[in-house]
Amino acid sequence: MKKSMRYIKRTLLFLIAIFCFLTGFTPETTHAFTPQVIQKGATGDDVIELQSRLQYIGFYNGPIDGVFSWRTYWALRNFQYENRLKVDGLAGFTTKKKLADQTKFDYGWVHKQIRKGNKFTTYGGVPKETQVKKSTGKTGAGAKGTPAKQGAKGNAAKPGAKAAVKVRTPKQGANIPDGYSQNDINLMANAVYGESRGEPYIGQVAVAAVIINRVESSEFPNTVSGVIFEPGAFTAVADGQIYLTPNEKAKKAVMDALNGWDPTGEALYYFNPDTATSGWIWTRPQIKKIGKHIYTK
């Protein structure tokens, strides 16, 4: 008797598991958003869903890249306006519910396209197959986005016209501090790692801050690459250590420096007192010592 009870229990559990699995991964789930309030500047899966759903009803024509950018922001505000919601650009409970009621979101399909790096759109009423462009192909024939407002007028998108719209960004995007590019970040991470990988975290932020201070100073070249590759400026450039692959710590340090943290007190130079070869560097007014390096004006 006991044995058969256990058996039933097991089967039940198994069935529940299957049920969960199916509901969780069935395409076109209608209620997915996590409970968070999504706002401008956020990144991640919820933003991908938000963009996909807004695109489904034609409010959003930008790339589905998971970055809550300005385009997403205006699209969301238009949606809120059209639906007589509070226009605050925040995807809270009511907004998300309204959005989920009006649209469909195929989690598995969308994420598959993102993983594969395909260009795709999620307009409603258009067969999915026609909305994908494989990443191997060349850049689409011009990304003609219809202005957000225009699409917002009709409730459902006009299939024929929309299917031609290509989305630019194939993979998930990222926020970048103002005035710099992803390339600058990579280059700086390389320089920071090559120069100071043995230093404590704050010492790495400091090296990155010196690079930024130099870019902003009139006495140095005014680009990140110009400053880093100025001959003789950094030993890691001279001995090739800049070409080592930087780790996460160095990248984080660079991000902190780009976001405005400067532990050096506006230093333009630094040197390691144990190995410094130039006598001149000792004549610079010293600000402070961080890790092994002395930072000077």
Partner 1 sequence: MIRNALIALLVVAVAGTGYWGYKQQQEKNAIRIQSENNYQRAFHDLNFNMDALHDKIGETLAMNSKRQISPTLAQVWRLTSEAHNNVGQLPLGLLPFNKTEDFLTKMGDFSYRVSLRDLEKKPLSNKEYNKLKELYANSSNIQDELRKTEAVASKKDIRWTDVEMALSKKDQPHDNTIIDGFKTVDKSAQGFGETDFGPEVASMHNAKKRNVNKLEGRNITKEEAKKEAIKFFQLKKNVKITVKETGKGSQYRAYSITMYNPDTKATTYMDVTKKGGYPLWVLQDRKVGAQKISVNKAQKEAISFLNMHMKSKMEVVSANQYDNIAVFTFVSTKDGVRIYPDTVSIKVALDNGDIMGYQGTDFLTSHYDRKIPAAKITEQQARTKLNPKFKVMEKHMAIIQNDVKQEVYCYEFLGVIGDETYIIYISAQNGDEEQVKKLREGQPDYASM
The tally of CA atoms less than 13 A away on the side-chain side of residue 30 is 6
| String of contacts with partner 1 for each residue 243-262, x by CB under 8 A | ---------x--xx--xxxx
Instruction: Name which of 126 and 253 has its Cβ closer to partner 1.
Output: 253
Stretch that binds partner 1, among 22-30, 124-132, 156-164, 195-203 (CB under 8 A): 195-203
Instruction: Name which of 11 and 146 has its Cβ closer to partner 1.
Output: 146
Stretch that binds partner 1, among 25-33, 99-107, 121-129, 275-283 (CB under 8 A): 275-283
For the chain, the first-to-last Cα distance in angstroms comes to: 84
Q: Which one of residues 33, 263, 270, 293 is an interface residue with partner 1 (CB under 8 A)?
A: 263
At its nearest, how many Å lie between partner 1 and the CB of residue 269? Answer: 10
At its nearest, how many Å lie between partner 1 and the CB of residue 159? Answer: 22
SS3 254: helix
At its nearest, how many Å lie between partner 1 and the CB of residue 190? Answer: 13
Instruction: Name which of 15 and 174 has its Cβ closer to partner 1.
Output: 174
Beta 286-290 vs 119-120: how paired, if at all?
unpaired
From CA 52, how far away is CA 112, in angstroms rounded? Answer: 13
Instruction: Name which of 32 and 176 has its Cβ closer to partner 1.
Output: 176
Instruction: Name which of 12 and 161 has its Cβ closer to partner 1.
Output: 161
At its nearest, how many Å lie between partner 1 and the CB of residue 216? Answer: 6
Q: Which residues within the stretch 99-138 sit at the binding site for partner 1 (CB under 8 A)?
A: 117, 135
Instruction: Name which of 87 and 104 has its Cβ closer to partner 1.
Output: 87
Nearest CA to 194 among 208, 180, 183?
A: 208
Sequence-distant (6+) residues with CB within 8 A of 124 are: 56, 57, 58, 103, 104, 156, 157
Taking the CA atoms of 235, 237, 239 and 245 in sequence, report the sign of the dihedral they define.
Answer: positive
Q: Which one of residues 32, 85, 132, 202 is an interface residue with partner 1 (CB under 8 A)?
A: 202
Residue positions counted in the chain: 297
Q: Which residues within the stretch 29-88 sit at the binding site for partner 1 (CB under 8 A)?
A: 36-44, 61-63, 65-71, 74, 77
Q: How far is CA 40 from CA 43, 54, 70, 212, in A?
A: 9, 15, 7, 27
**Residue 172 · residue 112 · CB < 8 Å:** no
Size of the site for partner 1 (CB under 8 A): 83
Instruction: Name which of 126 and 290 has its Cβ closer to partner 1.
Output: 290
| Main-chain dihedrals φ then ψ at residue 198, nearest 5 degrees | -85, 0
Q: Which residues within the stretch 140-179 sit at the binding site for partner 1 (CB under 8 A)?
A: 145, 147-148, 168-178
Instruction: Name which of 104 and 286 has its Cβ closer to partner 1.
Output: 286
From CA 228, how far away is CA 223, in angstroms rounded? Answer: 9
Other beta carbons within 10 angstroms of residue 191's beta carbon come to 28
Residue 62 DSSP symbol: S
**Residue 253 · residue 192 · CB < 8 Å:** yes
Q: Which one of residues 86, 97, 216, 244 is an interface residue with partner 1 (CB under 8 A)?
A: 216
Residue for token pair 């103002």? 178
Q: Which residues within the stretch 217-246 sit at the binding site for partner 1 (CB under 8 A)?
A: 217-222, 226, 230-234, 238
At its nearest, how many Å lie between partner 1 and the CB of residue 184? Answer: 11
